[in-house]
Amino acid sequence: MTDAIHPPALRVTDDMACPSGDWTLIALTPRMASLRRALADAGATRWDLSELTRLDSFGALLLWRAWGHRRPDQLMLPPAFDAQFARLDALGDAPVPPHPRFGPLDALAALGVAALSLVQHVGDFLALIGRLALDGLRLLTQPRQWPIKEFSANLFKVGVKAMPVSALVGFLIGVVLSYLSALQLKAFGADIFIVNILGLGVIRELGPVLVSVLVAGRSGSAMTAQLGVMRVTEEVDALSVMGISRYVRLVLPKVMALSVAMPLLVLWTSAVALLGGMMSAELQLGLSYGFFIETLPKVVPPANLFIALGKGAVFGFLIALVACHFGLRVKPNTESLSANTTASVVSSITLVILVDAVFAIATRSIGVPV
Amino acid sequence: MSAPARPPVVSLRGVSTRFGTNWVHKGVNLDIPPGEVVSLVGGSGSGKTTLLRQMVGLLTPSEGEVRLFGEPLFAGSREAQRQRRRRFAMCFQGGALFSAFTVYDNIAFPLREAGIASEAEIRDLVGLKLAMVELQPSHAALMPAELSGGMIKRVALARALALEPELLLLDEPTAGLDPTRSASFVALIRDLQQQLGLTVVLVTHDLDTLAALSSKVAVLAEQHILAFDTLEAVMQIEHPFIREFFLSERSVRALARGQGS
């Protein structure tokens, strides 16, 4: 037996078929099509396998399928290859069950499952808030148990490290908004209203929502993925076994950090966006920086700033909660991790915009100069 | 079986490995002839798994050369490399099953990628491989997360066997299995090896496995291959590591148990 490959072949004389050479995957691969045809056309009743030099389970399977899933009545089989066919004989009794097809009933079931899972999500989300509240209350009596270090690390991660990107996006949005508004306002000769539009728009609405979308994509997804991988590697279970609450040690610091970091990020991003708008206004309309800065507090009541900070805190709280909710649901497989991370980002952005609408209605009479 | 004309399946020539300033291997030479079952043993941190990963090209040695089937692993065209890679398979320590796929799809994956078999043939082949590793056809629909440790190892073995490899590399095949399961897994590998005429290279800490399975033992210590011979011959060598590894009271008991099975 040498390493050289004996090319597989099939010789048919009368009703006697005689495969020869190496019937192995490697040797068969280049000659697959012609051999398949030869096997299909063979139509032999007698088979002689004594000229085979090698046979692996793939080659055996090809022959076995050509025979119609059973040994032919007249078969010359060298004992060396008997084991290959013995396994195939056993297979005939218990084939692998086929995948069930997806029918209309399955579609209905899938719809039901989706509806139920939505209910379950809402329930679990409320339970998460409840647990967090209970743990928070318990921690009031045990001030040493507060996860201060984790809080500080998270604050740095979601707050300080997000500053460059939020500044860049804020600045560009400010410039674009100012540029587009300036074009319109110039036509009406209402140049100085650029301060009102930018001030109110950015501070009250655009700043918090913009930062929320950024943070949900940046920090929310990271939180979900981190918790998810910790689930996969059983780190979360290890914490539980040590008697350490995953809510106190993992969820609480994230929620606290994002609730604190978000208002600060909103402040920072709005400021940079206004800077961008101010520079654009100066270039487009010739509005001096001094005038802009002087006018801003007059046309934008300070209440707007507090609304923005409040929104920031609430949005941050929600994004972190949603991220942790989905992170703790990850099952130990890659598919679940990716599905939950996607769901986390999509849900938190949707939720933020929903809550923003509620804010808009609730605060419609506050801070808007009439 | 072992005609002198056949080149060694795995050949390491002067393989040296450095992590940072730390030399893990220095001038490792090893030739594994076809049909052998070689256990690679060594103290922890002696770079057994590193050597195994170098054999399959996951790591490149700092110096030296790895040849598989008489040719360097990365020689030739892409197609030639692909053909060569089809001739060996590896079972990772944790199974490394694709967690998003069912057991069926995991085993079918290499077959589908190779693009040579029809779906109906793949169905039969998967059934055959499952039977080979002594799993039931009903297990095909399970996800890897639903499997026990022993089943994961079996499915990983079935997946490795899917493309009929000539060389099988096993990283800690019995780690994390209870003694009964590990004994049956060892018996399974031994039967398959005898039926299919595979060459097997395994890394193991488990002396039961080593004694039951290996036709040769390669001892990796002091940064090179200290000995490469049958278990009996290796145990005759006077060396502190060998004495400690094979001849401690516990080891002798385990070896006797393994050889008895």
- From residue A237, how far is each of A128, A230, A244 by CA, in Å? 17, 9, 10
Does the distance separating the beta carbons of B128 and A334 come in below 8 Å? Answer: no
Q: Lowest-pLDDT range, A203-207, A265-269, A294-298, B190-194? A: B190-194
- pLDDT for the residue numbered B253: 80
Does the distance separating the beta carbons of A24 and B164 come in below 8 Å? Answer: yes
Three-state SS for B170? strand
Query: Interface pTM (ipTM) of the complex?
Result: 0.76
pLDDT exceeds 70 at position A150: yes
Paired residues of B8 in beta bridges:
none
- pLDDT for the residue numbered B3: 45
Fold of the CATH domain B1-80+208-261: Rossmann fold (3.40.50)
Q: What percent of chain B clears pLDDT 90, i.e. is strictly above it?
A: 12
With beta carbons less than 8 A apart as the criterion, state whether B161 and B142 touch.
no
Separation CA A229–CA A216 (nearest Å): 18
Separation CA A58–CA A84 (nearest Å): 10
Interface residues of chain B, partner chain A, Cβ below 8 Å: 1, 3, 5-7, 34, 69, 83, 86-87, 98-100, 104, 114, 116-117, 120-121, 123-132, 136-138, 140-141, 143-145, 163-164, 195-196
- pLDDT for the residue numbered B5: 61
- pLDDT for the residue numbered B1: 43
Residues of A in contact with B99 (CB under 8 A): 332-335
Three-state SS for B79? helix
Average of per-residue pLDDT across A220-231: 94
Pairing of strands A16-23, A9-13: antiparallel
Q: Which residue has the higher pLDDT, B142 or A43?
A: B142
Separation CA A302–CA A287 (nearest Å): 23
pLDDT exceeds 90 at position A228: yes
- pLDDT for the residue numbered A94: 63
pLDDT (tens digit per residue) in A24-81 = 888 888 888 888 888 888 777 788 888 888 888 888 888 888 888 888 888 888 887 8
pLDDT (tens digit per residue) in B195-237 = 778 899 999 888 888 888 888 999 988 888 888 888 888 888 8
With beta carbons less than 8 A apart as the criterion, state whether A1 and A52 touch.
no
With beta carbons less than 8 A apart as the criterion, state whether A272 and A174 touch.
yes
- pLDDT for the residue numbered A207: 94
Does the distance separating the beta carbons of B145 and A333 come in below 8 Å? Answer: yes
pLDDT exceeds 50 at position B104: yes
Q: Smallest Cβ distance to B116: which of A32, A57, A332?
A: A32
Residues of B in contact with A340 (CB under 8 A): none
Average of per-residue pLDDT across B66-93: 86
Number of Cβ within a 10 Å radius of residue A317: 18
pTM for this entry: 0.75
Q: Which residue has the higher pLDDT, B144 or A98?
A: B144
- pLDDT for the residue numbered A2: 44
Residues of A in contact with B69 (CB under 8 A): 3
pLDDT exceeds 60 at position A288: yes
Report the mean per-residue pLDDT for chain B: 86
- pLDDT for the residue numbered A42: 78
- pLDDT for the residue numbered B208: 84
Residues of A in contact with B120 (CB under 8 A): 65
Output DSSP code: residue B69: T
